[in-house]
Amino acid sequence: MNTRRTLTLLPLALLLPTAVLRAQASGRQPRTISWDDLLPADWDPLKHFKGLDLADLEDGDPRALAMQQQMREIWDAAPVNQDMLGQQVRLPGFVVPLEDSRDGMKEFLLVPYLGACIHNPPPPANQLVHVLPGKPAKGLRTMSTVWVSGPLGAVRTDSAMGTAGYRIAGADIAPYRERGR
């Protein structure tokens, strides 16, 4: 392995499991996945709230606020799908900026639906991906639709916009286009 490449990968080694680095070095093509692939098979985001009658609660009701706080804590601790870790993946989603500069976006959250984390409470942590582009991504705005490709790792990241359970570092970013267009 060439020394320059080793030095380039060294900071990533601190963030990613060894399996991810092996996948990068092998040059494998990323596998296109869906957001459902990120959910552990046995995880039910609503199991703690089954049987609750929400019909008699109004906005501002202390019981509703307590349930909302409990939901946020459970969703922020949502488990990741261990079977996905270390894989080279390609995932579509919407951009929620975290760090932008004149050179381009340096980090963002990738979210599964329009308005997530902006107009709605954030989705569970296993439905948010913290993206660190390989180079600052130019031309992105809030809710731009993109494809993100790279090695999937499990790094919990808290931000003002939500808690991400996954991270793709050194990501390739491309505009989202449907096949055939």
Higher pLDDT, 1 or 52: 52
Report which DSSP code applies to 159: E
Q: Is residue 145 predicted with pLDDT exceeding 90?
A: yes
Helix (H/G/I), strand (E/B), else coil: 150: strand
Tens digits of per-residue pLDDT, 15-68? 334 344 444 445 679 999 999 999 999 999 888 888 877 788 888 889 888 888
Q: What is the pLDDT of residue 12?
A: 35
Tens digits of per-residue pLDDT, 78-104? 999 999 999 999 999 999 999 999 999
Are the C-beta atoms of residues 90 and 30 closer than 8 Å to each other? Answer: yes
Q: What is the pLDDT of residue 35?
A: 98
Q: What is the pLDDT of residue 42?
A: 94
- Average pLDDT over all residues of the chain: 85
Q: What is the pLDDT of residue 27?
A: 61
Q: What is the pLDDT of residue 57?
A: 82
Higher pLDDT, 76 or 8: 76
Taking CA atoms, 174 is separated from 8, 53, 138, 139, 145, in Å, by 22, 44, 10, 11, 9
Mean per-residue pLDDT, 4-9: 34
Are the C-beta atoms of residues 166 and 80 closer than 8 Å to each other? Answer: yes
Element spanning 85, H or E = none
Instruction: Write down the pTM of the prediction.
Output: 0.80
